[in-house]
Amino acid sequence: GENVEQHPSTLSVQEGDSAVIKCTYSDSASNYFPWYKQELGKGPQLIIDIRSNVGEKKDQRIAVTLNKTAKHFSLHITETQPEDSAVYFCAASLGGGFKTIFGAGTRLFVKA
C-alpha cells in the first residue's frame, strides 16, 4: 500500500522567513496530493492540493511542487506569520473516493 514520509517533524522559522516541508510517496499510481493544516484540538483543514498532471500550484503565500519521477512533493510557505504556526500534514491518494494516506506531520513554529 501507499506510504508517505514527511520531513522535518519540527520546523522553527522567524516571522517573514520561508518554510519548506517535504514529502515522498511510494505508490506511483497516486495522483492527488493534498496538504492540510491542523490547529490544536481541531480537525485538519485543506490548504492546497495538487494533481499529478501539474508540477506546481500557487495560492498567495502557499505553493506546492510535485516531482512525479522522484515521487516527492513539497509545501512552500513564504512570508510566514505567527498564525501559520500549526501542524501540517501532506497526504497522497488515488483521488476520487479512494482513501487518503497521511504523512507523520510537521509542527511549524513561526516566531514573532
Partner 1 sequence: GAVVSQHPSRVICKSGTSVKIECRSLDFQATTMFWYRQFPKQSLMLMATSNEGSKATYEQGVEKDKFLINHASLTLSTLTVTSAHPEDSSFYICSAREPRGNYGYTFGSGTRLTVV
Chain positions contacting partner 1, by CB under 8 A? 32, 34, 36, 41-46, 49, 51, 89, 93, 95-97, 99-105, 107
Q: Which three cell numbers stand for residue 65?
A: 511542487
Decide whether 63 or 101 has the Cβ nearer to partner 1. 101
Amino acid present at 25? Y
Instruction: Tell me if 110 sits within 8 A of 82, measured CB to CB.
Output: yes
Closest approach, Cβ 104 to partner 1, in A, equals 5
Instruction: Tell me if 69 sits within 8 A of 22, measured CB to CB.
Output: no
Asked, as a colleague might, if the bond just before 34 is cis with ω within 30 of 0, I would say no
Decide whether 69 or 96 has the Cβ nearer to partner 1. 96
Decide whether 24 or 93 has the Cβ nearer to partner 1. 93
